[in-house]
Structure 1
Amino acid sequence: MINPTSRIKSIELSQIRKMFEVTNPDAINLGIGEPDFNVPENIKKAMKESIDKNETHYTSNKGIIELREEIVKKFKNDNGIKTNPDNIIVTAGASEALFICAQAFIEKGDEVILPNPGFLSYEACVKIAEGTVVPIDCKMENEFKLKAEDVSEKITKDTKAIVLNSPSNPTGAVMEKEDIKAIADLSMDNDFLIISDEIYEKIIYDKKHYSPANYSDNVITLNGFSKTYAMTGLRIGYLNANENITEELLKVHQYNIACASTTSQKGAYEALTGPQDAVEKMISEFKNRRNLIVSRLNGMGYETVNAEGAFYVFPKIEDEDFVVKAAKAGVITVPGAAFGSNGQGHVRMSYANSYENIEKAMNILEERVVNG
């Protein structure tokens, strides 16, 4: 038998991806972090036309220049970040962007501060790079928000990076401006990287998004089109950093995938330059669903923070058998422990499902799990 490397043996397959393998057609899936909306028609049309024009060959490693120019405009208009096309790399989703950050800058002995609970890919990428995970508590009493004073206590001479994710997967927490700025200051004072995963930045309801790249030069900003434009399967994302950082990231990207899908890049260009009404409609609907699921869960006695962004809630559910009971009743969820030790006693539920299905799911939980 040929054994895998020790770094691969140290990680497990994603518990979230198992949700994609649910075969019960009658189950209501609140486990998958994927918008249930379709790709907007103008984006579909742009991709179809690009194929008809035989625009299916390699692009520049960094991505087509027109798309990178639009991403530069997006950063300026939406985030207040001044950059240029040479500092942009178009990637195969934000997932690839995260992976190449770890491969380019993390090595054995490096400490990486990660939110706990936090998206499970962060820990896996750090471990594959043989870095050391330093978890930082995101407490329910702070609405699961990462606080600068807690970060300060975790910094050592071996701190290489911190991953920020606002809005957060799995909690929906949106970080406060003062914490973003304070952590950015810490990164400059202590010379470590901020890897800022901003994939959910548009899905915020009553607050404002702030990018740490406004306050520090030591930031790699990750983003993409999967969540905002429902382009998950098209695998298209991007990153931005200063010139010296981007050059190192490009080395990994070149030898990993060469370039992102040409067709997806054409769709991404249309996403940025075309009408945004489909996005606005989607976010409005997500807010309605958020209000519904939070109200219903609290009504059942499951304490639930009123998530300010993304499309997840993270109710406190201390019944260790809840996920199994819910699945047997016909509602798929994800155990909170999958997202770190602080996820213990919680369950992640995605409301990227129809209002009607969420209402039905809550009825099932109330009738067959809570009162069953």
Structure 2
Amino acid sequence: MTKPAKRTRTIELSQIRKMFEITNPNAINLGIGEPDFNVPENIKKAMIQSINDNDTHYTPNKGYIELREEIVKKFKKDNGIKTDPENIIVTVGASEALYMCAQAFIEKGDEVILPNPSFLSYEACINLADGKITPVNCKMENEFKLKASDVEEKINKNTKAIILNSPSNPTGAVMEKEDIKSIADLSMDNDFLIISDEIYEKIIYDKKHYSPAKWSDNVITLNGFSKTYAMTGLRIGYLNANEELCEELLKIHQYNIACATTTSQRGALEALRGPQDEVEKMIAEFKKRRNLIVKRLNEMGYETVNAEGAFYVFPKIEDENFVQNAAKAGVITVPGAAFGSNGKGHVRMSYANSYENIKKAMNILEENIPNGRN
């Protein structure tokens, strides 16, 4: 067998996906991070119209100009970021945008500061670029929030970048404004990049979202339509960076993807221009589910932070067999260790499932894993 490249040998397949192989088809899925809502009707109609209009040819590498113009308006209105359509690249989901950042700017010897725990793709992308991870522990006593003071301690001459993700996958933590601003200031003072993954920006409860690009020019802001508009399978995202950074990112995008799908771009345009009622309904429902799952887990003795955003909770569950036993009983979850060493002793549960299914899942856990309590 032909040997794989060294850069792929240390990469493991997603533990999130592995969970599907050990469960029965009737299990309640609290493992996957995907809204259980349908794409809003106005967005569907825009995409259908795109197909009927034979809008199926290449777009500019950076994406349709009208979509990029709408994204510029969104950044100004929602994030206080002033940018230009030429500094926007429409991507195949935020995942492609993340990979582009790693390939364009990280090389052997570069250190990337990474919250621990954090989304497992971050570590993989850094490793594929031959970078070195510098973890910063996000502690449960701080509600898993990344603190600027902890980041500052990790900065050295080899620090090339930091990845921020607020609201966070897997913890649901929302960073405080002062920490985001302080890290933005640090990026300017120490000349390192901030890769800010803001894909869960709209799914936030009783808090306000802040973008580091409001205070620093050394920021690449990643976002997309998958979570907010339930467009996961349509693979459509975008990034914003200054002109110099954007030119380097475009090299990776151009030779890897060429352009994002035309139909998805038309849907994304309608998502931004159209009514936001369905988004507001979805967020209200997620908050209701969050309240349920946190309450039930705490009642069962699993200490759980009242997550302020995204659609995940990260209860403290030190039973090493919990995930496997839960799967056998009919509830899919994900081991916290998949998200970094600081995730050990925790389990990620997604409440992107119906209220009734979450209630059933909690009943199953309570009835079948009584010895798993802390």
TM over 0.5, shorter chain: yes
Give the residue type in structure 2 aligned to 1:269.
L
Give the residue type in structure 2 aligned to 1:331.
V
The answer (yes or no) to whether the contact 2:23–2:327 under 8 Å persists in 1 is no
The answer (yes or no) to whether the contact 2:108–2:129 under 8 Å persists in 1 is yes
Q: Which residue does 2:116 correspond to in 1?
A: 116
Q: In the alignment, does 2:329 pair up with 1:326?
A: no
Q: Which residue does 1:239 correspond to in 2?
A: 239
The answer (yes or no) to whether the contact 1:294–1:313 under 8 Å persists in 2 is yes
CA deviation after TM superposition for structure 1 residue 241, in Å = 0.5
Give the residue type in structure 2 aligned to 1:213.
A
Q: Which residue does 1:170 correspond to in 2?
A: 170
Where 1:308 maps in the other structure, the secondary structure is coil
Q: Which residue does 1:26 correspond to in 2?
A: 26
CA RMSD of aligned residues (A): 0.9
Of the structure 1 ranges 284-293 and 3-12, higher mean CA displacement relative to structure 2 is found in: 3-12
Tell me the alpha carbon deviations over residues 39-83 of structure 1, each in whole angstroms, 9 at most, x when there is no partner: 001100100000000000000000000000000000000000000
The answer (yes or no) to whether the contact 2:29–2:333 under 8 Å persists in 1 is yes
Taking structure 2 as the reference length, the TM-score comes to: 0.98
CA distance in 1, matches of 2:118, 2:257: 27
CA deviation after TM superposition for structure 1 residue 23, in Å = 6.0
CA distance in 2, matches of 1:21, 1:173: 29
For residues 202-351 of structure 1, the aligned pairs below 5 Å read: 202-351=202-351
Give the residue type in structure 2 aligned to 1:313.
V
CA deviation after TM superposition for structure 1 residue 25, in Å = 2.4
Where 1:36 maps in the other structure, the secondary structure is coil
CA distance in 2, matches of 1:361, 1:146: 30
CA deviation after TM superposition for structure 1 residue 222, in Å = 0.1
Q: Which residue does 1:64 correspond to in 2?
A: 64
The answer (yes or no) to whether the contact 2:28–2:330 under 8 Å persists in 1 is yes
Give the residue type in structure 1 aligned to 2:270.
E
The answer (yes or no) to whether the contact 1:294–1:306 under 8 Å persists in 2 is yes
The answer (yes or no) to whether the contact 1:20–1:32 under 8 Å persists in 2 is no
CA deviation after TM superposition for structure 1 residue 17, in Å = 2.2
For residues 38-187 of structure 1, the aligned pairs below 5 Å read: 38-187=38-187
Tell me the alpha carbon deviations over residues 293-328 of structure 1, each in whole angstroms, 9 at most, x when there is no partner: 000000000000000000000000000000011001
The answer (yes or no) to whether the contact 1:19–1:32 under 8 Å persists in 2 is no
Q: In the alignment, does 2:345 pair up with 1:355?
A: no
Structure 1 pair 19/267, CA: closer, same or farther in 2 (3 Å)?
farther
Give the residue type in structure 2 aligned to 1:341.
S
The answer (yes or no) to whether the contact 1:202–1:228 under 8 Å persists in 2 is yes
Using the aligned pairs only, state the percent identity: 84
Q: Which residue does 1:3 correspond to in 2?
A: 3
The answer (yes or no) to whether the contact 2:30–2:333 under 8 Å persists in 1 is yes
Give the residue type in structure 2 aligned to 1:138.
C
Where 2:348 maps in the other structure, the secondary structure is strand
Where 2:285 maps in the other structure, the secondary structure is helix
CA deviation after TM superposition for structure 1 residue 16, in Å = 1.2
Unaligned residue ranges in structure 1 (runs of 5+): none
CA distance in 2, matches of 1:371, 1:177: 40
Structure 1 pair 133/329, CA: closer, same or farther in 2 (3 Å)?
same
Give the residue type in structure 1 aligned to 2:327.
A
CA deviation after TM superposition for structure 1 residue 109, in Å = 0.3
CA distance in 2, matches of 1:110, 1:324: 37
Give the residue type in structure 1 aligned to 2:130.
E
Where 2:251 maps in the other structure, the secondary structure is helix
CA deviation after TM superposition for structure 1 residue 3, in Å = 0.5
CA distance in 1, matches of 2:157, 2:39: 46
CA deviation after TM superposition for structure 1 residue 6, in Å = 1.2
Tell me the alpha carbon deviations over residues 133-181 of structure 1, each in whole angstroms, 9 at most, x when there is no partner: 1111000000000000000000010000000000000000000000000
Work out the number of aligned pairs and report it. Answer: 372
CA distance in 2, matches of 1:113, 1:80: 25
